[in-house]
Every structure is written in structure tokens, then in C-alpha cells.
Chains A and B, each alone.
Chain A
Amino acid sequence: MNAFAVLADETRRDIIRLVAKKGELSSTEISQNFQMTPPAVSQHLKLLKEAKILHVKKDAQKRIYSLNQEGMKEMEDWILEIKSLWTKRLDRLDRYVMKLKKENKNGK
């Protein structure tokens, strides 16, 4: 399951924002913030947990959710790598088109 696919859903992004703001929340507390049935919220939480975006710990009968830094960092790193690839690629493109432009001017 791709973390980006998990993040592409508006509700799941809202859940992440809520958890990030509060630090720690139980699944019940999360449910209370959404106009959805608890099972529906629970499905979202499951995906967020599997994608390592949220971390869960058990506290008696409660499940407590918090942000999973590891998963967030993996995604961030991945985006940064792609960003770096494209920055280099565009630098090279720039040099290439400038070369073409110069050649055209010289009537080649």
C-alpha cells in the first residue's frame, strides 16, 4: 500500500492533521470529529497505520494514535530524492536548450 495513495484521500489527510495537532488521540476521539460511522473511521485508521503514517499503541481497551515519524520521513525522503532528480534534469535541459539556441543563431 502506497503512502501517497493513502494521503490522496481528503478524509485521511484531515485525520492526520487532527492527530498532528493533538499529539495523541484514541480512535473514539478521532471518530467524534467526523461525520462517519466508527467502522468507516476505523478503516481509514487501518490504512494510515499500514502506510506507517500513524503509529498506534494499545492502552487497556483503547487504541491511541500518534504520528509515525518514520513513515512520514520515508515519504519526505522519497519526495526529496525525486525533487533532486528533477532539479538536476532541468539544469541539464537548460544547458541543452541554450546550446541549441546558440547553434540556431550560428545558422547551423
Chain B
Amino acid sequence: MENNQTETIIEKNRVIYKRYFDVDSELLFEVWSKPEHLTEWWGPDGFTLTIIRLDFSIGGIWEFVMHGPDGHDYKNKIQFLDIKKPISITYKHIGDGDGDVDVDFESRIIFEKSGDGTIFTMEQVFSSKQELERVNKKYGAIEGGKQHLGNLGNYLDKIVKTI
């Protein structure tokens, strides 16, 4: 792993990111968990962030709006599933806060001490068990697959506008 390079691996329905940060894991954990820090970096360049609410606890909800450079607002809602200070954070996306459950993925972040720095690993798994159960219940009664993929595309447009 090269210093300050994000390494990504894409496999099946998961994406894994690895990166080395030259700060201790306590600090890294802190900037992931406190609103005054999150607003400083969560939006990629050109974006600003408004935090509607942030309950950094297991089961807690984080709701925020990313303001894009093009003037668009992108609503997001995240639920924390597990928190182990300062080792790991697991959360899932629960859509745009308007009950959109079609885009659903879980992320697990691990902070691993490495010398004076930290090796950061994030694993994103697209579609959660709940999503699958929901789908399985409807098994055979699902229509409009195309429309859903369209929604996926729309959502993508909503969360990412390349600057």
C-alpha cells in the first residue's frame, strides 16, 4: 500500500478501500464521529455538508444534506449498526431519507494501528439482508425491474455529480 493512495478492490457485490493515514487511529476515529469534523471533509471537494441530526451510537441515525457545486441538494440517511471505539464503525445507508430503500448498502470501516499511522479499510456491501428479505417476500411478484435500476441511476445522479 503506497502512502496516501487509495487502493480499491471490486468483487461481486462489494467494494473494498484501503488507505494509509499518517495520524493515530484515535484521531481518525474522532473525525469520523464528530459533526464539527465531518462537515469539514465528508463532502468531496466543492461540496458542503449540513447535518440535520447525528446520533453517533449503535442504532443511531445520521441524516445530512450534501450541497453540490451545481446547486443541487442530496439528502442522505445513515444508520450506525455497530461502533467499537477506536477500532471500527459499521453503518448502513437507508436511502435519501424519503423512504427510498432501493439503494441500500452497508459499510464497515476498520482503523488499524500501523506504526505512528493508521491503515484504514472500508468494505461496502451492496444490498443488505433486509433488502434481500424484502425482495424474497415479493419473490416472483416483482415488477418494473427496469424502473428500479432507473431509480438506482437517479439516486446516483443525486449523490454524485462529478465536479
Contact = CB atoms under 8 A, between A and B. Distances in A.
B126 A4 contact: yes
Contacts of B102: 2
A101 to B, nearest CB: 5
Interface residues of B, number: 49
Interface residues of A, number: 41
Per DSSP, are chain A's interface residues mostly helix, strand or loop, or mixed? helix
Contact of A47 (B43, B142, B159): B142
Interface stretch (A23-31, A58-66, A91-99): A91-99
Per DSSP, are chain B's interface residues mostly helix, strand or loop, or mixed? mixed
B21 interface: yes
A9 B146 contact: no
Interface of A: 1-9, 13, 43, 46-47, 49-52, 71, 74, 78-79, 81-98, 100-101
28 contacts: A1-B142, A1-B148, A2-B102, A2-B126, A2-B148, A2-B149, A2-B152, A3-B152, A5-B104, A5-B131, A7-B127, A8-B127, A47-B145, A50-B144, A51-B145, A74-B149, A78-B156, A82-B124, A82-B160, A84-B162, A85-B44, A87-B6, A89-B42, A89-B44, A96-B31, A96-B37, A97-B21, A97-B28
